[in-house]
Amino acid sequence: MKTKPSNSKKQYYFISYSRDDHVRVQEIAHYLKGHRVNLWFDSELQYGNTWSEELSSMIEKAAGLIVVLSPAARDSDWVQRELALADQLGKPIYPILIKPIQRPFLELVRVHYLDLVDGSLPPDEFILKIGGKPHVNKSEPTKPARKSATSKPKSKIIKDLKQCYLAHPDIGILVTTLKEVKVLDHSSLRVHKSASMVRFLVDSAISHERKFLVTSSAGIGYQGPDPWHILIWKISRKKGQPTLISHDECYFGHSWSQGGCAISPDDSKIAAAGDNTIKLIDINSCALTSEFVFESRINRVFFFPQSELAGFIPGYSSLGTDRFVIWEQKSGKVIRELKFEQGVVDVAVHPVEPLVAISSGSRVSFWNTTKWEIVHQLDFHDDVQRASLDPLEPYLVAAVGNALSVLNYKNGNFIAQFPYRDEEVVSCSIADGIVLSAHSSDRLRKWFLPKSTS
């Protein structure tokens, strides 16, 4: 897919880059376009001989060339050709460094480059230089801004906020706190309904249809053994208002040090983990159906769509792990372990497709859960804190640095970015054209995707 100038009569800048850097390039391009910089670059297609003439023509007609520098770009024949042609034609060249390089580009020895290695975005001085419009001084009169991907989000402070979910559109937003489950109005974020869990939340999970919620909780453990508690919640509407119904509750032994939980894609069972044990529970009767003991302590547990396999992250949540374990639901047998040098930070399972996204360091790898092979991979400029997958669109939302980035994981196209203050994202969710984030500051934020993508 070619990204063409929005107005063919207006001057544009050609972006030259390596496909290995497409995620970061999409982020920079999206930012520049938001400041009215007209761009042209090939964002998806593999280069071939048939493209030589068109690429040459686009460089000849361009107002200048923006070259994105990295080790991959340094080794790219196409970047070298595009840079050489621009230099031969006497086009202004604007280098942007996104990763340190050992060997310089000969054409750029005397050219000053913009250093964005720290993951930042182009400053106003650079935007002005290429004809864009930087941020307007607040003292100057401005026209009302149209709602866009960078519009101010709706937000609400919720004490002891832990996790957030976009429930069925007819119901609203679900959040869990240290001791409560709450249903919020989609539009106003007003709390419609709250229900107590009695004990302290350890983990929660929402079902595929987004009408069931399961919570695992336990006592603080200072006053002797306390039952490990599973609550299954039905979320529905009663007299036009959302309501929470405690469908059933389960007690299993003493308080576990962990307690990750998950709901199967067909809404028939729950997996609940603690210490080195996983229990499978019938969601209708709340009866224990299976119990498996593993060699390692279990942090979080997951079901996969269209599969009799399941997975878990071993280890302690505070320390992380470098493995993701895949096991059979019928036998509890471990069939494979995936290794990650940078550790496993987060796992997002697609509710319908056989797909799981595993975040490790600054990389998110997408695995087909039928063949257990990598089908997509995205690299970010900083470590990924949290990630979530859209149930209907091929979108990933990832908390990276001080922003939530939304990308199309099938082609790597950058969709939107939502900046926030220097605070940790503890949970995020994406569905129905909305991005939801829960922060360590107890603030819930609701963002809207651009209408063209939602």
Domains and CATH numbers, the chain: 2-129 (3.40.50.10140), 154-448 (2.130.10.10)
Q: Give the C-alpha separation, 58 to 37, whole Å.
A: 16
Q: Percent of the chain, pLDDT > 90?
A: 35
Q: Give the total residue count for the chain.
A: 454
What's the chain's average pLDDT?
81
> What integer pLDDT is reported at residue 203 of this predicted model?
86
User: Tokens 């670059």 belong to which residue?
Assistant: 41
pTM for this predicted structure: 0.71
First and final C-alpha spacing in the chain: 19
pLDDT category, 245, cuts 50, 70, 90? low
Q: Which of 395, 369, 389, 386 is nearest to 437 (CA)?
A: 386
Residue 313 identity: I
Backbone angles phi, psi at 422, to 5 degrees: -70, 80
Average the pLDDT over 120-144 and give the result. 67
Q: Percent of the chain, pLDDT > 70?
A: 80
Evaluate if residue 240 carries a pLDDT over 50: yes
157 in Cβ contact with 421 (< 8 Å): no
pLDDT category, 238, cuts 50, 70, 90? low
> What integer pLDDT is reported at residue 243 of this predicted model?
62
Q: Give the C-alpha separation, 130 to 29, whole Å.
A: 13
pLDDT category, 341, cuts 50, 70, 90? confident
Classify 108 as helix, strand or coil: helix
> What integer pLDDT is reported at residue 109 of this predicted model?
58
> What integer pLDDT is reported at residue 338 of this predicted model?
95
Kindly provide the b/e burial profile for residues 139-164, where b requires at least 16 CB atoms within 10 angstroms of the residue's own CB. Answer: eeeeeeeeeebbeebebbebeebbbb
Evaluate if residue 135 carries a pLDDT over 50: yes
Q: Which of 52, 54, 69, 51 is nearest to 15 (CA)?
A: 69
63 in Cβ contact with 131 (< 8 Å): yes
Average the pLDDT over 335-360 and give the result. 92
Q: Which of 449, 339, 357, 446 is nearest to 410 (CA)?
A: 357
Classify 303 as helix, strand or coil: strand
pLDDT category, 289, cuts 50, 70, 90? very high
Average the pLDDT over 175-182 and give the result. 91
pLDDT category, 304, cuts 50, 70, 90? very high
> What integer pLDDT is reported at residue 258 of this predicted model?
55
Evaluate if residue 4 carries a pLDDT over 50: no
pLDDT category, 48, cuts 50, 70, 90? very low
pLDDT category, 354, cuts 50, 70, 90? very high
92-101, 112-121, 335-344: least confident range: 112-121
Q: Give the C-alpha separation, 39 to 195, whole Å.
A: 51
Evaluate if residue 398 carries a pLDDT over 90: yes
